[in-house]
Structure 1
């Protein structure tokens, strides 16, 4: 079944999915620590009975039990060579169980290895892993593919790209979200839905991690920005430990069925159950909801829910969504990450340094840019390699959506392929071969694009020719399946000094586009080329263009007069939210001016005093790299390096501090420790997400690596650091959370012994005894393995181990930790440090 066929199949009705597999198989005897797929093939009757019951309960779609059937997962059990046999037999088993009238979905999930830069897995390798499994699933006879329980939007993209490159099968994707409504990697529901729909998913949604009562906002947020079906597959509430030591969920079938109405009202039309649900749950859903849509989706106020609005445009990064229409607030595309005319940036790129790139990314976001343009085209470098490096750097610094700016189709595809969001292509024209090379990339990777109305003959001679080019190129886009909402037309600003009608022609073009439903963009600087006091001309032209309907401009957001005039124009045009935005901007500049005055006073007393970011925002200060820092300020610089996750920069700054004579202990105590505490605090408050937390911890690790030999010289040989044994419990092969906790603890000075993943209780307890550990830290990601934590705690008591035990992981709750007798519970890596300090009663 292809995507269009699936959309027709799902149109106007509620479809029913199956319920849990893992928790039901555990009840049927699946032991922890074995390969589930292999066990199922040894106990086919158990799986077939479960799936027959799901089909008999009214499920329209049943998942084949191929959840961990990729080669990386299977390699954990030495079964990677049997991947084709295992996946093929499991699909055939599912088909035999449910018959011809129920769709069989080939089930795909995470590999357990993390993508770079968080882990060691290359993106292209991950795509190949998914291609291999999906190819087998298609050949085995699956009707559709489901990619489920995903924490990383980038891994979702890898699976979708893999499927599209080898198959036309419809692909559903569901992600799992934390309590704050974001994935572990910080993706919002909106960003995930926008990205995945644009990339070709036939349905998107959420599964696992929570009961239906906690999933409502996630589903509604997805429904607002998509037109494809929304999936809701929650758990049966929260896990509880029963007196016999097994794990049960606290929501009865009738309560679950009742609660699911709120998810249908929020916009879900494909519903089922995850952990803890059984065929009884699915039977209840089918009896009440299956078939024609009877429940109208509503928003928080009970009003009809507006699904994705025609005329709205959507861009997103991994962690932020941007929605706009033709009459929304004017936006700035930050232009500074572009080496053209910037000798210092050119020099840094040639040297492989990304310091200025990082600073430009941070400052442009602070200064009000909505999108960042990324251009690294210049002589003397490998543009594709540099583009990928810059993207990796910028994506750890800013949440803003990116505009990929390159004239090379090879560079453009490499960038779009790796970018974990919905990007904007800059640009596509009718120049020879350009549309033919770039439009397929926009279609394949779900990108928007800037339409540049150039023809093979070059610049259009007048407005009529410009409009003709717009019509011709947009029609080419429509023929490829793109829509008018995927296009932003460049007004093609010419120089008024050479052509007195240049501004008028561009304004006419903008007006035409606005009247005909096209969003517009313009680069402003050309208009004033060769004239004195160019900012006056640029500013006047921009306000006129905004009045004609200009959507956005490629500009430097630090240009005070230009941006202030743009925001004031929106205010005068009575655009919603313009008043608050203008006032906030003026407050920002008032604060910046005060900061500039303070910096001037400091400079009068100390000629080499640092210059604040606020002063730089006003355009009155040199870039950071031009400033000389006194000894007392290098501490602040290193601290900021940790907060920014500036892994390249912190090594240089730490060495500089040591050369200047700053005490290593002062760097540790006054820069690194306060910085990592601040990073943890930002993470707790939802300002930072997993990538920033890891980047900060890694930056600190680099600095400590330089300081450690110097600190050891002064260390007290009698002072023994507390030892922590850390492990992912037996049967669980997920370790990203555990690895991050270990890194954070090491950074805080603990002696961490990391036993890895899938570690038996006996091994953990022996390591604790042998190393006289003060703490045992246990991690589990799956509900099917979390009960192993209780086994470790019971064994520790039996063996009279004195170490305190802390537990954590995506499925673990504080209530669960108390039920199994743990000494502490940590929701995340940042909290783990505080919990251990608390239970050990230190600092």
Structure 2
């Protein structure tokens, strides 16, 4: 068995102990400016100029019984080496660092006790979410970093001390490309750094980090640096509860205390060992170690307490969803449907389109923020418009939305290049809208091109019930295409059923044409049957299609009634203008009944619900409906007004009341 296969086997069998701090150990040897080749403080240079020092540090950790050491390559990346103007040496220092660690691991290995090498990939000093470096440039540099580590003999790659989720994506995807090119099975570990405020440097909560990283196809997820074990406990608890993958943890030796001699780390070796003993028992950690301030003595005591233990069994309960840079949003909302805001769509929103055409980006951002206030859970971002450079528009808007919106983004385009531009700007987990079989599913099809992006970036996907024959109109046709999509995406693209959002499509029912009268029924029946067959799949609709052609006031009522029927049939989400959806209790009985008669095509002698519905709303405008509603609310006593807002799920005005 080769060492990498042995590492995988060891992870499944027992707790593995890694080493501790590297930088402080190297500095203890007091290397000279010549040792740094003139690049003072650039520890990676020592892999070439002073291999004896680097190997001595590895030996110090192996001597106390650790199972693996990290390579001296934390700064062997584009940004960190760029500070010294030697970024062209990423591969060289990576390969040299891995080779030294491999030599010492092999020296200490026995048949009964193999030792392993983790190829360290640090965060660098540039944050792509803030525009410091282009995503693709960073990704390709990480590919070189990983390629050097693999060539030098690393058993696994560890992307660590991550502070920007877009940097995590760049590093993991670059590493996966290097692994593929090398033709080797090299596990990838991703560790984020949570600050004392409970979030990553750019504000990402642990739920957002998990939502982004797990679908990228890494092998372990964990935490390292910034804090000691006490501050990591709640975040580890979250991972243990929700993460399907093995977990790792490499804390600092407590929070640093500034003294006259510099930073002092107060956590004793015994305390670190006790913390890891608790973590392995309560959270089922598979890989433990130390970060800043931890010494061979710290790790000696950790080895004594936890090495060789079987990781505690976990029963994680994942929550399928998407994420913004800041937060995870579940696809299943407890008390309502998931509202995907439709107003940041250049084809559906005149205001957004005009702002985009004028390149008034701040106005575009304001429209996005307004949807959050209106109750949207996610935003549908579509920039496709004739005569525009979609890639440029998507890059601009996705970059701005990434930090300006707390809501996850649905990237909506028919063009793979436009979707890719959005994915390369978003650190969060996006949803791709959409994939379908319009031009088939063979090589070169739009389906294949988009799914390659979905798979690499770990996105979720909205899949439309469209096949080579066109847009599915009947329930049977819709379900048949949906089943084909689900089976294809799970079997051939590795997606989980719960990350697939099926759009059963809806069409206008107010055209007066006979062939459109049953379109609402067919959609409802398709949703019901699909959810019966696949309870964990997600469903959605571009809701406003149902009412196309009616006046705005009538559209609000028909959309609201149809949405309620679809939710009762099992609909999970809808692309809507959330503030224009009315609770059923707010719609007068006759108007609601006629809308239902339209949806279910209940015509009878002398009664056509479409004709009656249009009569009911002749001369009624949406603005007057909203004004009537606002005036009615303002006329109520405060407690009654509060009650109505809560019952109706109306956020606007709730805080003030």
* TM-score, reference length from structure 2: 0.80
- Give me the whole-angstrom Cα distance separating, in 2, the residues matched to 1:488 and 1:505: 18
Do 1:488 and 1:519's aligned partners in 2 also have CA atoms closer than 8 Å?
yes
Residue of 482, 486, 492 corresponding to 2:505: 492
- Give me the whole-angstrom Cα distance separating, in 2, the residues matched to 1:355 and 1:87: 42
Give, in angstroms, the shift of residue 75 of structure 1: 4.0
- Give me the whole-angstrom Cα distance separating, in 1, the residues matched to 2:140 and 2:311: 42
- Give me the whole-angstrom Cα distance separating, in 2, the residues matched to 1:130 and 1:350: 36
Do 1:216 and 1:262's aligned partners in 2 also have CA atoms closer than 8 Å?
no
- Give me the whole-angstrom Cα distance separating, in 2, the residues matched to 1:195 and 1:225: 13
Give, in angstroms, the shift of residue 489 of structure 1: 0.9
Query: What's 2:118 paired with?
Result: 105
Aligned to 2:578, the other structure's residue is in SS state: coil
Residue of 536, 555, 560 corresponding to 1:539: 560
- Distance verdict in 2 for CA 1:114–1:503, change over 3 Å: closer
Do 2:466 and 2:481's aligned partners in 1 also have CA atoms closer than 8 Å?
yes
Query: What's 2:22 paired with?
Result: 21
Residue of 250, 257, 276 corresponding to 2:273: 257
Query: What's 1:347 paired with?
Result: 354
Residue of 365, 368, 375 corresponding to 1:361: 368
Are positions 1:64 and 2:71 aligned together? Answer: yes
Query: What's 1:408 paired with?
Result: 415
Query: What's 1:608 paired with?
Result: none
- Distance verdict in 2 for CA 1:4–1:384, change over 3 Å: farther
Do 1:219 and 1:267's aligned partners in 2 also have CA atoms closer than 8 Å?
no
Do 1:145 and 1:172's aligned partners in 2 also have CA atoms closer than 8 Å?
yes
- Distance verdict in 2 for CA 1:563–1:373, change over 3 Å: farther
Do 1:211 and 1:236's aligned partners in 2 also have CA atoms closer than 8 Å?
yes
Residue of 300, 316, 319 corresponding to 1:307: 316
- Distance verdict in 2 for CA 1:354–1:494, change over 3 Å: same
Aligned length: 567
**How do 1:7-156 residues align onto structure 2 when only pairs under 5 Å count?**
9-11=10-12, 13-30=14-31, 33-39=40-46, 41-99=48-106, 101-115=114-128, 118=130, 120-156=132-168
- Cα-to-partner distance string for 1:422-449 (whole Å, 9 max, x where unaligned): 1111111111033222222211111111
- Distance verdict in 2 for CA 1:444–1:420, change over 3 Å: same
Give, in angstroms, the shift of residue 43 of structure 1: 3.7
Give, in angstroms, the shift of residue 560 of structure 1: 4.7
Unaligned runs of 5+ in 1: 298-305, 567-588, 599-614, 619-843
Give, in angstroms, the shift of residue 52 of structure 1: 2.1
Residue of 488, 495, 501 corresponding to 1:476: 488
Residue of 480, 504, 509 corresponding to 2:521: 504
Query: What's 2:459 paired with?
Result: 447
- Distance verdict in 2 for CA 1:434–1:512, change over 3 Å: farther
Give, in angstroms, the shift of residue 383 of structure 1: 0.8
Do 2:164 and 2:427's aligned partners in 1 also have CA atoms closer than 8 Å?
no
**How do 1:112-511 residues align onto structure 2 when only pairs under 5 Å count?**
112-115=125-128, 118=130, 120-168=132-180, 169-240=186-257, 245=261, 247-264=263-280, 265-293=282-310, 295=312, 306-309=315-318, 312-325=319-332, 329-432=336-439, 433-478=445-490, 479-497=492-510, 498=513, 499-511=516-528
- Give me the whole-angstrom Cα distance separating, in 2, the residues matched to 1:215 and 1:564: 46
Give, in angstroms, the shift of residue 379 of structure 1: 1.3
Give, in angstroms, the shift of residue 316 of structure 1: 0.7
- Give me the whole-angstrom Cα distance separating, in 1, the residues matched to 2:564 and 2:22: 60
Give, in angstroms, the shift of residue 128 of structure 1: 2.4
Do 2:284 and 2:311's aligned partners in 1 also have CA atoms closer than 8 Å?
no
Query: What's 1:580 paired with?
Result: none
Query: What's 1:522 paired with?
Result: 541
Aligned to 2:161, the other structure's residue is in SS state: strand
- Distance verdict in 2 for CA 1:5–1:358, change over 3 Å: farther
- Give me the whole-angstrom Cα distance separating, in 2, the residues matched to 1:565 and 1:44: 75
**How do 1:616-655 residues align onto structure 2 when only pairs under 5 Å count?**
none
Do 1:334 and 1:371's aligned partners in 2 also have CA atoms closer than 8 Å?
yes
- Give me the whole-angstrom Cα distance separating, in 1, the residues matched to 2:348 and 2:43: 59
Do 1:333 and 1:369's aligned partners in 2 also have CA atoms closer than 8 Å?
yes
- Cα-to-partner distance string for 1:466-487 (whole Å, 9 max, x where unaligned): 1111111222212221121120
Give, in angstroms, the shift of residue 364 of structure 1: 0.6
- Give me the whole-angstrom Cα distance separating, in 2, the residues matched to 1:5 and 1:368: 50
Do 2:507 and 2:546's aligned partners in 1 also have CA atoms closer than 8 Å?
yes
- Distance verdict in 2 for CA 1:114–1:460, change over 3 Å: closer
Aligned to 1:73, the other structure's residue is in SS state: helix
- Give me the whole-angstrom Cα distance separating, in 1, the residues matched to 2:308 and 2:13: 8
- Give me the whole-angstrom Cα distance separating, in 2, the residues matched to 1:269 and 1:194: 20
- Cα-to-partner distance string for 1:322-344 (whole Å, 9 max, x where unaligned): 12448763110000011225444
Do 1:405 and 1:427's aligned partners in 2 also have CA atoms closer than 8 Å?
yes
Do 1:543 and 1:565's aligned partners in 2 also have CA atoms closer than 8 Å?
no
Are positions 1:558 and 2:558 aligned together? Answer: no
Unaligned runs of 5+ in 2: 34-39, 181-185, 440-444, 588-625, 636-649
Give, in angstroms, the shift of residue 59 of structure 1: 2.5
* TM-score, reference length from structure 1: 0.63
- Give me the whole-angstrom Cα distance separating, in 2, the residues matched to 1:453 and 1:4: 42
- Distance verdict in 2 for CA 1:453–1:90, change over 3 Å: same
